[in-house]
Structures are given as C-alpha cells and as structure tokens.
Amino acid sequence: MTLDDRQLSELLDTAAGILDGASTQFVAGHRADSAVAKKGDDFATEVDLAIERRVVAELQRLTGIGVHGEEFGGESVDSEMVWILDPIDGTFNYAAGSPMAAILLGLLVDGEPVLGLTWLPFMAQRYTAIVGGPVRCNGDELARLERGDVGDAIVGTGTFNIDSRGRYPGRYRATVLANLSRQCSRMRMHGATGIDLAYVSAGILGGAISFGHHIWDHAAGVALVQAAGGIVTDLAGEPWTVTAPSALVAAPGVHEQMLEIVAAAGNPKDYL
C-alpha cells in the first residue's frame, strides 16, 4: 500500500495532536507506582495503561488505522497499515522520577516505518519524521546525519544484568560494551531505547545499540533514524525488520565501525 506525502503529513499532524493531548496526563503521572507486573522485573504503571487506552481510541477514531500497543497488543504488526505505540518508554525512569521517558509512536505500512513520533514531555521535545526526511524537533528541521567516526561519537546502549541469559546474555553485552569503550569512551545508558534512537536521528548520539527485539521500542526511532540518513540493522548487520532480534542504529561511518566492534565479541551463544 502506498500513501502520498499529503496523506502522510495529515496522519502525522493528527497523531501529533493526539500525543500533545496525552502529554499532560504523562507529566501529571510522574513517579507513578507499578500497577501490572510483567516478565522478569518489568512492570507497567496505571499511567501506561491509561495513556495507551486513550491514544489507541483516538488514533482509531481519527485515522481509522488499527494500533498495536505495548500493554494491550491489538492490531497485528503484519497488518497492511498499523500504528505501533509505547505509551511510556523508560518506565523505570518514569516511576523513579527521571525525565528520561518518552511516548513512542510509529506507523508501519507493509512492515516498513513511514512515520515516527517520539515525545519527551518533561523536556518539551517532540521529534517527528516522514519517510524520506527531514527529522524535525519541535517543528524545526534538523540537519541530515553526516559521516562520522565512532571515536568522536557518543554511543547509547541499553541497561542489563551481567547474569542475564536469553538471546544476548549479560556477559556478551558486557564484552560488546568493553570493546566499544576501547574506541569510544563516551558511553551512555539512558534506560529508554526510544530516546536513544531519537537522539541518534538528531545527531546527539553518533550511534546506539538495542539488545531488545520489541517492535514498540523500535518502530518510531527507526523511522526517525532512516529519515535522518542514518543506518539501521540488527547486531548481525542484517537489515532491520519488524521481527529483528535487535537494533544497531548510527550515522554513516559510525555504523560500519560499530558493527565491526560487535562482531569482535563473537557468537552470543558462546556466552551462555
């Protein structure tokens, strides 16, 4: 399915208005307590649930497009068109009182991100992009990403437990970060994947690694990074898709160097 620039622009404007409305609720609920326990030590707050219900209802009513959200699921991610929503990215930060939390919303058409919206309400930052670019912050057009060097970049990575197992064991992640630190001493752990990806699109970070696979963490940010001229793959260097097991996003040049550093850590299975 193809949407023209006018249709995409109208959808972006509608979605932005919905997220603006939800931002008041987002800010008011800061330091919210856990409401729902999830896998591992993850949880959702009542604000997560309320914002997802609100945004889903308004998106469906105003755009007629189904929504797949982190908390309640919904429309299949394989649908011809589907909104992908994370009502609070960085839930631990949000509940603890940190401002590093965001609302993430992306639109997939035939599995490809065509719109990205990342709202950081506590910092009054609103990142938006339509496929093909440019990326905008609060309506102002940002420069496209230029070729860079990992040694000059700030690199974002996800938090982890050294004893964790799974697809990317904790010891594997630690090795990747150790190797990165040898070439890039400017490492950051924001605890919010969507913020890392938005900051790559804005040129704040030169690159970022997400060891996770959740589509709601990636959809909005992948759209932003691609619109900015950045490169998005999984950790093995394969093109990012909605089923990708991870994400490595970076400016040109930085991405190639980061892939080499990741590859030097070897096979994640060897760390189990």
* Mean pLDDT along residues 24-39: 68
Q: Tokens at residue 225, please?
A: 């990074």
Radius of gyration from C-alpha coordinates of the chain: 18
Q: Judge whether residue 176 has pLDDT over 50.
A: yes
Q: Is 209 annotated as a binding residue?
A: no
Share above pLDDT 70 across residues of the chain, in percent, rounded to a whole number: 94
Q: Name the residue ranges covered by the structural domains of the chain.
A: 5-141, 150-270
- pTM given for the model: 0.94
Q: CA 218, CA 210: separation in Å to the nearest integer?
A: 9
- What letter does residue 269 receive in the DSSP assignment? G
Q: What dotted CATH number matches 150-270?
A: 3.40.190.80
Q: Do domains 5-141 and 150-270 have the same CATH topology?
A: no
Q: Provide the sign of the torsion angle of the four alpha carbons 9, 15, 21, 23, taken in this order.
A: negative
Mean of pLDDT values over 47-72: 94
42 known ligand binder: no
Binding residue per annotation — 70?
Answer: yes
260 is in an annotated binding site: no
Q: Is residue 4 annotated as involved in ligand binding?
A: no
Instruction: Spell out where 90-206 has E strands.
Output: 102-109, 112-120, 125-130, 135-137, 140-141, 155-157, 187-188
Q: Residues 64-83: pLDDT tens digits?
A: 999 999 889 999 999 999 99
Judge whether residue 45 has pLDDT over 80.
no
- Give the domain 5-141 fold: Fructose-1,6-Bisphosphatase; Chain A, domain 1 (3.30.540)
Q: Is the pLDDT of residue 147 over 80?
A: yes
List, for residues 203-231, the tens digit of each pLDDT value. Answer: 999 999 999 999 999 999 999 999 999 99
